[in-house]
Structure 1
Amino acid sequence: MAWNPREIKRKAEEDYEATWLETAKLLKRRGRFLRWPKGALRGKPHPICELIQRFRSILLSYGFEEVINPTIVPEGEVKRQYGPEAPIILDRVFYLAGLPRPDIGIKAELARKIRSEIVPGAGEELLEGLKAVFRAYKEGRVEADDLVEEMVRRLNIRPEQATAILALFPELTTLTPVPTRLTLRSHMTALWFPVLAALQDKKPLPIKLFSIGLKWRREQRLDETHLYDSHVASLVVMAEQISLEDGEELVKAILADLGFKEARFVVKEATSKYYAPGMEVEVFIRHGGSWVEVADIGLYSPVSLSNYYIRYPVFNAGFGVERIAM
């Protein structure tokens, strides 16, 4: 049965807790209204996920090992890899921020309101218990998403009473995010350097790895080819000897397996500093009568590799999943 969202929204703006409790009656805990037959109707997969699965199958068939790289990158990693170019790269990244945990004091007026309106008849022990919870929260012994549950458990109150108490404290509602030196990855490359450094003496060469996941960029304009978040299929090969030609042949084979028989490789005029000079290449495929850029490949600079004490050449390729899916 449908409900009236406008009416619920209006009531919630007047009294959120009461509306939250009241509207629970619109939902059913028991009863069977749907059936879940398996195989009767096939679901619809997302085309990006289907393409990612094709990438995974292809790369696994070439003997690559799959890796899940972290999504959070310390700013210092970008500086180690890009050198003097780092400020330009960092201009495109999203920095992370966190809310500080404030010191929360219980003034006499708030104490009276808690004991008279929210938890009628509560004694001094409730206020002391609340102070203890706030102290544990400040010290990090209680996580933010556990705070209400902790109040319910320690103070023996209902969830709606706990949230009503929290709403009294402006220290919690007026917090300003504090920036950190952590970023969301804008290039999968940022994670390959520390990974390869950790593995170079633990695995036999060549080491062939791939990772498929999201990257985030603070684009100045958003359109079908410029997104805040998009997927990249990234691979690296570390070997005693490997040439750019070796890498190009691999990329040609992968694109052919994806159904693209024609590929063009164009050396970038301005090389990113984590690649060696003249060793960064843009990859284009023919589609609909035009050439579309779908990948960036190259050999890492020995300077950037040496910042991680990596002793061997590394080939890297990054395919734009959304670009190829288009």
Structure 2
Amino acid sequence: MRFSAEKFRELAKSDFEAAWHEGEKIQKTVSLSEKYPRNIIRAAKKHPIAETIQRLREAYMMMGFDEARVPLFIDESDVYKQFGPEASAVLDRVFYLGGLPRPNVGIGKKQLESISKITGKDISEETEENLRKTLHAYKKSEIDGDELTHELAVVLDTDDGLVVNIMDEVFPEFRELSPESSRVTLRSHMTSGWFLTLGDIWDRVPLPIRQFSIDRCFRREQEEGPTRLMTYHSASCIIADEDVSVEDGKAVAAGLLSAFGFTDFEFRPDEKKSKYYVPETQTEVYARHPVHGWVEVATFGIYSPHSLAAYGVEVPVMNLGLGVERLSMIEYGAEDVRALTYPQFFPQNFTDLDIARAVSLKESPKTEEGIFIADSIVKTARDHFDEKSPCEFLACDIDFGFGCRVKVYVFEDEENSKLLGPAALNDVFVADGRILGLPDTSSYKKQREKGVNASISFIDAVANLAAAKIEEAVFYGENGSIDFKMIKVPSEINLKVEPWAMRYITDNNKKIDVRGPVFTAIRWEIEQSECHCDCEE
């Protein structure tokens, strides 16, 4: 069946409205019984690095710095300009950009025969000539690599899939290519980009120049570790003016770090003494945090006139650099920058509240009548839980619609027992990563106080499963019953634990213990009455 665009939008709208009404039912269930906290939308999580960057951006702009983007690709010659004698050591830690060369592909009789065999077509002289021209244009970079397959498919009058086979089987030159390095590097310091920027703008815009950039740098570490990554973010700024001094660096550092709750600051000479800074101006910034104490967080200095002169810059420049990841580690109490930056590759830590939200009902009623039945079963069971058996109590007598009236009973046939077993009123709690079924008694008071209530009791789960079964039975007009005995696993009590929570519990040697004697039963009787609807019999 085909739909027009208008019809498709109409169907999509109706599906949305149906979902909306279903959502209203769920919300009504929440407000009536408060049994489904996991359906409430939670606030999304912010990545700590991104959040730190945003706060730094706001702090810089509040201090009057303009945001900039500085070059990421730095030619090797610029590294020598900026670092002088240090350049060789610096280049040892940078990434050089490389790429695959364009192959010189030869076309002979053998290649043409192979192409003809793959395509099932003879290669005419005109096609052969166009093929040579296309490959030659690719060699001269007139055709991009991602366009070559399509261009060859046009020339050979075949599909792209066969061209892929041709390139792999007929022209091994493509497969055997090895990357070659250029003299262009990935920026290892924001300074490299600032020198290029200053060289172009220092005499073209009004002074002072106050700019900042928060962006990635790349450093070819021997290996990544708890405190270092091969790519990191630097929150860097420059102030270019006639009377710039070290005091400007102190003021900027204090302004930035105050936004993160740091109170006191210490400025210590940096023993590394980079050649692109004026001697005795390179300074490390230590800040005292109420929780973490004294921490090194930034470095600043005045650019060397010699390095600036290489770019024609004739005004003093203060530069400050702050490691975003280091600040984030302090702010979020992280011990490993790898786990902070790429949490998806490390074991996740979930709170008891997170796990409690992962516990839900396997089955629950979908109609208002079904919800009413579930609530009625719970109320009746709680009101008569210690009645001696055999016994039976009417939970509700309800007009279900569709010409059906439903009577629901909670009962127990076994003699010398009670309506509910000892575990029927247990509540599901999560404590120290464990999912437990706990009774509301003094013996379990500490566990209940320590843990998080998942807002589901065993009798809630029983009642919802029964109500869901009754909804289905009404459709077929069938009487029935459901009973619960000794519970051993969550599914037997109509509980579902999300797979990620199960994995977390297993990985951390926690447990799920919802065992217990529920020993109760529910039955229903469906009476068909005269149909008053407009449907055809």
User: What TM-score do the two structures reach when normalised by structure 1?
Assistant: 0.84
Match of 2:97 in 1: 96
Q: Is the 8 A contact 1:267 1:281 kept in 2?
A: yes
Cα RMSD, aligned residues only:
2.2
C-alpha spacing 1:98/1:299, structure 2 compared with 1 (3 Å): same
Q: Which amino acid aligns with 2:196?
A: P
2:291 corresponds to 1:297 = no
2:199 corresponds to 1:194 = no
Match of 2:158 in 1: 157
Match of 2:58 in 1: 57
Match of 2:223 in 1: 221
C-alpha offsets along residues 209-259 of structure 1, whole Å, 9 cap, x if unaligned?
A: 111111000112311221110011110000110110221112111110122
Match of 2:405 in 1: none
C-alpha spacing 1:167/1:242, structure 2 compared with 1 (3 Å): same
Distance 1:174 1:109 in 2: 19
Match of 1:23 in 2: none
Q: Is the 8 A contact 2:288 2:294 kept in 1?
A: yes
Match of 2:258 in 1: 256
2:121 corresponds to 1:128 = no
Match of 1:273 in 2: 275
Residue pairs, 1:1-326, within 5 angstroms: 42-116=43-117, 118-124=118-124, 125-168=126-169, 169-287=171-289, 288-326=291-329
Deviation at 1:51?
1.4
Distance 1:229 1:322 in 2: 10
C-alpha offsets along residues 149-186 of structure 1, whole Å, 9 cap, x if unaligned?
A: 22233433211011111112121111122221100000
Q: Sequence identity, in percent?
A: 41
Distance 1:104 1:186 in 2: 37
Deviation at 1:289?
4.0
Bigger drift between 261-270 and 189-198 goes to 261-270
Bigger drift between 227-236 and 152-161 goes to 152-161
Q: Is the 8 A contact 1:269 1:278 kept in 2?
A: no
Distance 2:128 2:147 in 1: 19
How many residue pairs match? The answer is: 293
Deviation at 1:42?
5.0
Q: Which amino acid aligns with 1:190?
A: S
Distance 1:194 1:103 in 2: 36
Distance 1:56 1:155 in 2: 54
Distance 2:272 2:42 in 1: 52
SS in 1 for 2:138: helix
Higher relative contact order (CA 8 A, sep 6+): 1
Q: Following superposition, which runs of at least 4 residues in structure 1 exceed 6 angstroms of deviation?
A: 34-37
Deviation at 1:137?
0.3
User: What TM-score do the two structures reach when normalised by structure 2?
Assistant: 0.52
C-alpha spacing 1:58/1:318, structure 2 compared with 1 (3 Å): same
Q: Is the 8 A contact 1:94 1:183 kept in 2?
A: yes
